[in-house]
Amino acid sequence: MCLSTVYMNSGNKQKKIMKDVARVEAEGQGFWFINLFGERKFIEGSIQTVDLMDGLLMILEKDTSN
């Protein structure tokens, strides 16, 4: 079973968003993350890194300065 932990990369900080993520769905300017228990969380941003061997997905925070 391949489950991942999602982190948000904001500048030089990394914040854990959700663990045990089993599914990722793209929508508009972000992604829905669905964990093993069916809990869902929407995060705006872009994928920076996906490491399936380490179960890591890094999201780059959406630039809100525009």
Answer for the pair 59, 46: CB distance below 8 angstroms, yes or no.
Answer: yes
pLDDT one-digit tens code per residue, 26-57: 999 999 999 999 999 999 999 999 999 999 99
- Other beta carbons within 10 Å of 5: 16
Q: What is the dihedral of CA 41, 7, 38, 2, to 10 degrees?
A: 150
Q: Taking the domains of the chain in order of start, what are their residue ranges?
A: 4-61
CA gyration radius, the chain: 11
pTM: 0.84
Q: State the DSSP code for 38.
A: S
